[in-house]
């Protein structure tokens, strides 16, 4: 029995030894940290670093990470073994020794020695830090040294450059340096900044990995900058190396960025064949989602997860499945991505949220001669292929809010997929006061208190305004901006006198003038950005003018009906109320039966105005009031020819600003006020009288507005008196949709059809080709193949060429005088009605 026990003991000892060897081998790669201060590095647990070290395996591919900053403490015991030669760009004869501490903080997060019985653990044991001193001892610096530092890093073997610094100013010089790094397969990682404003440069350039910060509860730190350039987030609070061989707590996006740089080094160490773009993409597509599904401007793609970046396979087609509109992948207005159309039938849908009205700029590049067709929900369509003149961008006008973009192969019969790269940018709208870049072009403002919202939509943009004052009073100006990329400044000048400048704050600040006395004369206001930006700025400024004149009501006395001021049509009349008993009477004349419009504007938002309408016998015809807080009151009423009176009152007197009264009249044709004199007036009237079409209420037909597919189906169904219906199986239309019955009947009659993805697109605007096809199908036309295309902008490969040939040959369509048809342009309600009437009268 003793012998057996000894055998079992030997077996157990051998098993322990074998397990010990296995564990030792695993730990020999990247062992869990035993550093004494690792317990204070709670941020490492948020990004799952222990699991990441295990996943990294025994790969030891060395990666050089350049820290372009204030330098690094070259003697710090936790860093000294992990440094390579760098450079001091401020004093080239000296070493890049840190004289601030910031660069040392950054370096420790990435590469503090692990398991050396000292201090903390760096994220990436396979890294060497290249210290590049480009900032002064106070942490300040300029774009020239920053660009020089990046280029030095690229030229001297760095694979990753971390930039825990930022500027509000865009720079062509720095943009070229960033592209230089991308061209040399070097990854740039940058902090977004800590001012609760716009993402700073260089983080804001499309190919730079922009990093924001989150708190320990995984919520974005309110100080962390955000916006369309943000890529991902990492913990905000860290414990790291400090000057003099010490350690300290630090926070900010400056501390978040090096965590991502360290993660990138681990990924590149394990997968050295990846490109800089692929490393960037891998970190983005393996994040932990924190906000909306996909990308959002507060957290980007989500929280850095180093473990997932090392274990999840790289996905070249990361946005799948985005093959329908309702599965569209969210895309920033300012990004650069790559993806794949996996087959001829594959579609890629993207949703882009525009923060303002303006233009989305899209560069699409692919290596296929047949090309990719890009269609926006506005109906605009573009084609890109490798025969294009470089990467020529598409420019699409958009309104604030969501825009959808669909990509599909031009050749729907091809056997292979298409890889493509996609870059987006945004150009803000040109404000309505342009062109006012010179004083002699100043936009004339009314002499009253008002709020103006403007933009700097082009390089060197400044905005001039002129305020012609007829009365003495006081004025105060307030200028605010919604982006840190604007450092606002006001210039205020009375014509012929010395100008004063108001510029007390910095980037993203608010400028407020003192309360100033003003006298009759011309006053000029110039709004500008102190910084010399070289690109349009995505952001708005708001100018508030508080003007308190000594006002006089020009219509007094008009307190009685017999004193009523005669109001000519389409003229503006101003007034105010001197006391709470004051009333203002106006009269006007309708020369014929029609629609009267009464518009009161510039009402103080703290006041309620009342309007009573009377006929010529002073019999009341209506009583109206504006909503509290609204600065206008709008009245529409059909009236017979004759004289009418309006009595105006307010709940409380006001003399600081003048209300404005404008009365207009319109002839109603078939119940509409907006078709008189229109080229399609007769067609609209006839079909309205027949009950085939209707307007939008409020006496509006909107003849030049685009018609939707649902509206077109409804009109055709009524016009053709269709009765039989087919059950709809479109994914975007259920029985609750207002046009369900119309579309069901039109589908049964084979007049309309859906899209290959199983949708109908009821709210999608109808193109001129779709309109032509619907009307042709209502006449049972199937198209013809013979003959040449009748229009020079429609070739034989166009999907609707057969229908166009037949409709043109039979005289149903004629196109434009220049011989074009513009098949993919939106069809207007007037165009549809006009063609439909011809079909009905055939």
Q: Which domain holds residue 3?
A: 1-30
Contacts of 434 (CB under 8 A, 6+ apart): 457, 463
Residue 800 lies in a domain: yes
Could you report the per-residue pLDDT of 527-568, keeping only the tens digit for each? 999 876 557 899 999 999 999 877 788 899 999 999 999 999
Residue 39 has pLDDT above 90, yes or no: yes
Q: Is 50 exceeded by the pLDDT of residue 708? A: yes
Q: How far apart are CA 480 and CA 486, in angstroms?
A: 9
Q: Distances from the Cα of 687 to the Cαs of 609, 699, 709, in angstroms? A: 41, 16, 18
Same domain for 481 and 466:
yes
Task: Report yes or no on 245 lying in a domain.
Answer: yes
Q: Is residue 671 part of a domain?
A: no
Q: Left, alpha or beta for 115 (phi > 0: left; psi -120 to 50: alpha)?
A: left
Which string of b and e fits 487-510 if b means at least 16 CB within 10 Å? bbbbbbbbeeeeeeebeebebbbe
User: Mean pLDDT lowest for which of 358-372, 384-398, 520-534?
Assistant: 384-398
Residue 659, pLDDT > 90, answer yes
Q: What is the pLDDT of residue 414?
A: 84
Catalytic residue among 48, 76, 102, 334: 102
Mean pLDDT along residues 169-194: 95
Q: Which of 35, 50, 69, 237 is catalytic?
A: 69
Q: How far out from the chain centre does Cα 636 lie?
A: 37
102 part of the active site: yes
Residue 113 has pLDDT above 90, yes or no: yes
pLDDT above 50 for 111: yes
Q: What is the CATH number of the domain that holds 423?
A: 2.60.120.380
The CATH number covering residue 84 comes to 3.40.50.200
| pLDDT at residue 535, rounded to an integer | 72
Q: For residue 675, is it within any domain? A: no
Residues 21 and 77 in one domain: no
| One domain for residues 116 and 215 | yes
Residue 399 within a domain: yes
Per residue in 436-446, pLDDT tens?
999 999 999 99
Average pLDDT value for the chain = 91
Q: Is residue 672 part of a domain?
A: no
User: What tokens appear for 317 in the block?
Assistant: 């087609």
**Among 19-33, 208-222, 603-617, 774-788, which is the least confidently predicted range?**
19-33
76 noted as active-site residue? no
- Specify the number of domains making up the chain: 6
d(CA 586, CA 565): 5
Residue 554 within any structural domain of the chain: no
Region 203-213: mean pLDDT is 95
Instruction: Give pLDDT, residue 578.
Output: 84
* 648 and 567 assigned to the same domain: yes
451 and 413 in a common domain: no
Task: Decide if 44 contacts 64 (C-beta within 8 A).
Answer: no
For the beta carbon of residue 676, count every other beta carbon within 10 angstroms.
Answer: 12
Predicted TM-score (pTM) of this structure: 0.63
Q: What is the reported pLDDT for 31?
A: 63
Residue in 164, 254, 384, 685 annotated catalytic: 254
Q: What is the pLDDT of residue 391?
A: 62
Rounded Cα distance, 311 and 838, in Å: 65
Of 768, 774, 773, 770, the closest CA to residue 742 belongs to 774
More confident residue, 3 or 644: 644
User: For 784-799, what is the mean pLDDT?
Assistant: 90
In sequence order, the β-bridge partners of residue 83 are 129
**pLDDT at position 662 over 90:** yes
Residues 409 and 471 placed together within one structural domain of the fold: no
**Pair 293, 404 in one domain:** no
Residue 539 lies in a domain: yes
Q: Does the pLDDT of residue 506 top 50, yes or no?
A: yes
Q: Which of 648, 465, 719 minimizes the C-alpha distance to 711? A: 719
Assess whether 69 carries a catalytic annotation. yes
Q: Which residue has the higher pLDDT, 604 or 31?
A: 604
* Same domain membership, residue 37 and residue 155: yes
Domain boundary among the residues 549, 570, 601 is at: 549
pLDDT digits (tens, 9 = 90+) for 227-252: 999 999 999 999 999 999 999 999 99
Q: Are residues 279 and 347 in the same domain?
A: no
At 264, give phi and psi (nearest 5°).
-60, -40
Q: Verify that 392 and 294 share a domain, yes or no.
A: no
The encoded tokens of residue 211 equal 């990093």
Q: What is the pLDDT of residues 805-839, one digit of tens each?
A: 999 988 889 889 999 999 999 999 999 999 999 98
Q: Are residues 126 and 77 in the same domain?
A: yes
Q: Do residue 294 and residue 417 come from a single domain?
A: no
* Predicted local distance difference test score (pLDDT) of residue 9: 38
CA proximity to 198, closest of 533, 491, 464:
533
Q: Which of residues 282, 311, 340 is at a domain's end?
A: 311
**Listed residues 279, 311, 343: the one ending a domain:** 311
């Amino acid at each position: 029995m003793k012998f057996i026990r000894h055998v079992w003991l030997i077996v157990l000892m051998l098993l322990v030894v074998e397990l010990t060897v296995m564990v030792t081998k695993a730990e020999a790669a990247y062992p869990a940290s035993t550093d004494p201060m690792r317990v204070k590095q709670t941020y490492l647990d948020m990004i799952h670093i222990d699991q990441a070290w295990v996943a990294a395996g025994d790969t030891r591919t060395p990666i050089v990470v350049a820290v372009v900053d204030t330098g690094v403490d070259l003697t710090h015991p936790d860093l000294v073994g992990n440094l390579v030669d760098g450079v001091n760009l401020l004093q080239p004869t000296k070493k890049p020794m840190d004289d601030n501490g910031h660069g040392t903080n950054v370096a420790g997060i990435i590469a503090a020695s692990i398991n050396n019985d000292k201090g903390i653990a760096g994220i990436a044991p396979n890294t060497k830090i290249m210290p590049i001193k480009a900032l002064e001892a106070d942490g300040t610096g300029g774009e020239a040294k920053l660009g020089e530092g990046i280029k030095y890093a690229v030229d001297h073997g760095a694979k990753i450059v971390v930039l825990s610094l930022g500027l509000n100013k865009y720079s062509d010089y720095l943009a070229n340096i960033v592209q230089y790094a991308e061209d040399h397969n070097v990854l740039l990682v940058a902090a977004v900044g800590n001012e609760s404003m716009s993402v700073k440069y260089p983080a804001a350039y499309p190919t730079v990995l922009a990093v924001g910060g989150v708190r320990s509860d995984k919520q974005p730190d309110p100080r962390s900058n955000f916006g369309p350039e943000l890529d991902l987030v990492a913990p905000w609070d860290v414990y790291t190396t400090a000057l003099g061989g010490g350690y300290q707590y630090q926070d900010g996006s400056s501390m978040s960025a090096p965590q991502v740089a360290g993660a990138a080094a681990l990924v590149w160490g394990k997968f050295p064949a990846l490109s800089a773009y692929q490393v960037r993409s891998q970190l983005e597509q393996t994040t932990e989602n924190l906000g909306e599904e996909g990308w959002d401007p507060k957290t980007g793609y989500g929280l850095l997860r180093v473990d997932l970046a090392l274990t999840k396979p790289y996905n070249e087609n990361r946005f799948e499945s985005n093959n329908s509109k309702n599965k569209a992948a969210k895309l920033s207005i300012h990004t650069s991505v790559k993806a794949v159309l996996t087959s001829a039938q594959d579609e890629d849908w993207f949703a882009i949220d525009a923060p303002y009205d303006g233009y989305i700029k899209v560069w699409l590049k692919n290596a296929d001669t047949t090309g990719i067709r890009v269609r926006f929900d506005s109906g605009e369509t573009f084609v890109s292929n490798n025969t294009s003149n470089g990467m020529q961008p598409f420019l699409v006008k958009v309104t604030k809010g969501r825009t959808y973009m669909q990509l599909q192969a031009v050749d729907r019969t091809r056997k292979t997929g298409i890889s493509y790269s996609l870059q987006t940018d945004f150009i803000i709208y040109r404000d309505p006061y342009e062109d006012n870049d010179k004083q002699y072009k100043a936009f004339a403002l009314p002499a009253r208190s008002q709020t103006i919202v403007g933009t700097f939509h082009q390089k060197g943009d400044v905005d001039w305004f002129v305020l012609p004052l007829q009365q003495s009073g006081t004025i105060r100006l307030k200028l605010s901006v919604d982006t840190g990329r604007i450092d606002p400044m006001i210039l205020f000048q009375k014509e012929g006198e010395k100008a004063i400048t108001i510029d007390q704050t910095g980037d993203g600040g608010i400028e407020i003038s003192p309360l100033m006395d003003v006298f009759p004369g011309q006053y000029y206001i110039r709004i500008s950005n102190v910084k010399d930006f070289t690109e349009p700025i995505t952001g708005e400024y708001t100018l508030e003018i508080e003007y308190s004149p000594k006002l006089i009501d020009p219509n007094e006395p008009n307190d009685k009906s017999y004193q009523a001021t005669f109001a000519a049509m389409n003229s503006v009349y101003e007034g105010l109320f001197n006391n709470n008993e004051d009333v203002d009477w106006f009269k006007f004349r309708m020369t014929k039966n029609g629609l009267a419009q009464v518009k009161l504007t510039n009402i103080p938002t703290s006041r309620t105005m009342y309007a009573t309408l009377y006929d010529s016998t002073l019999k009341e015809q209506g009583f109206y009031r504006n909503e509290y807080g609204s600065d206008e009151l709008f009245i529409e009423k059909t009236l017979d020819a004759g004289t009418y009176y309006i009595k105006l009152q307010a709940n409380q007197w006001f003399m600081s600003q003048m209300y404005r009264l404008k009365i207009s009249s319109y002839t109603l044709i078939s119940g509409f006020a907006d078709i008189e004199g229109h080229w399609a007036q007769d067609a609209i009237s006839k079909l309205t009288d027949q009950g085939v079409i209707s307007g939008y209420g409020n006496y509006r037909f909107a003849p030049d507005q685009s018609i939707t597919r649902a509206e077109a189906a409804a009109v055709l169904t009524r016009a053709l008196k269709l009765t039989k219906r087919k059950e709809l199986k479109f994914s975007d239309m259920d029985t609750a949709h207002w046009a369900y019955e119309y579309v069901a009947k039109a589908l049964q009659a084979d007049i309309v059809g859906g899209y290959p993805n199983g949708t109908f697109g009821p709210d999608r605007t109808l193109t001129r080709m779709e309109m032509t096809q619907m009307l042709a199908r209502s006449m049972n036309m199937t198209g013809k193949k013979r003959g040449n295309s009748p229009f020079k902008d429609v070739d034989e490969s166009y999907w609707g060429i057969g229908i166009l040939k037949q409709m043109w040959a039979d005289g149903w369509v004629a196109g434009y005088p220049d011989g074009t048809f513009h098949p993919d342009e939106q069809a207007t309600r007037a165009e549809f009605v006009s063609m439909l009437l011809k079909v009905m009268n055939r």
